[in-house]
Amino acid sequence: MTDVGTYEDRELFRRIARGDEDAFRHIFEQYRGLLFAFAMKMTGSTVIAEEVLQEVFIKCWTSRTELAGIDVPRNYLFVITRNRILDHLRKIAADQRLLNQLWIIRSPEGDSADNAIGLKESSSLVEKALSTLTEQKQLIFRLSRYEGLSNGEIAEKLGLSKSRVKNVLVETTKFLRQTLLHHIEPILLLLFFRLF
């Protein structure tokens, strides 16, 4: 981008900082295609790219008073876009890692050292989290996940309704999901370096 373009963008940012909607529309039209292509390239998803683009421009408008001090608007927009992409990748990685951990816990198959270590670490985290729940919730979870009993079998064994067993399993799984998300390894550095 030329110095003239940078100067014009800085002036548009100053106008946006004062609440000028026409200047905001101009910046949006000028950069939406570039930012969308960047997000699409990094994520491979049209849906995520569209969400990222929307979040970037919402941030620009809601934080518009900060725009007056931006020297290189193009760089600013790409940095915000990159950060939003990282947020999305972080969430996807966290969700995938959690699913993998729960799968290992539920189906401890294979005899590789990696699987054994993953199973031990995952089981330890799950047991620690489970220990904070009521005895009934712990028992229902263990009967379902470790012993492979169906909801009906658990209900019969414990004298509960099937719907109660199902509700407890849903609550417990949600609790474990939230707890385990705090212990996921920082694999996002690999994703970050992929962006550059």
pLDDT, one tens digit per residue, over 169-193 is: 888 888 877 776 655 443 333 333 3
pLDDT at 122 over 60: no
Instruction: State what percent of residues in the chain have pLDDT above 90.
Output: 45
Q: How confident is the model at residue 161 (pLDDT cuts 50, 70, 90)?
A: very high
CATH C-level class of 3-91: mainly alpha
CATH architecture of 107-189: Orthogonal Bundle (1.10)
Rg (CA), the chain: 24
- What does pTM read for this prediction? 0.49
- DSSP state, residue 186: -
Residue 10's pLDDT band (boundaries 50, 70, 90)? very high
Long-range contacts of 34-39 (CB under 8 A, 24+ apart): 35/77, 35/78, 35/81, 38/78, 38/81, 38/82, 39/81, 39/84, 39/85
- Does 80 score more than 80 pLDDT? yes
Please list the residue range(s) of the chain that carry CATH number 1.10.10.10.
Answer: 107-189
User: What pLDDT is recorded for position 59?
Assistant: 92
**Under 8 Å between Cβ of 147 and 165:** no
CA distance 40 to 22: 27
Q: How far apart are CA 185 and CA 46, in angstroms?
A: 27
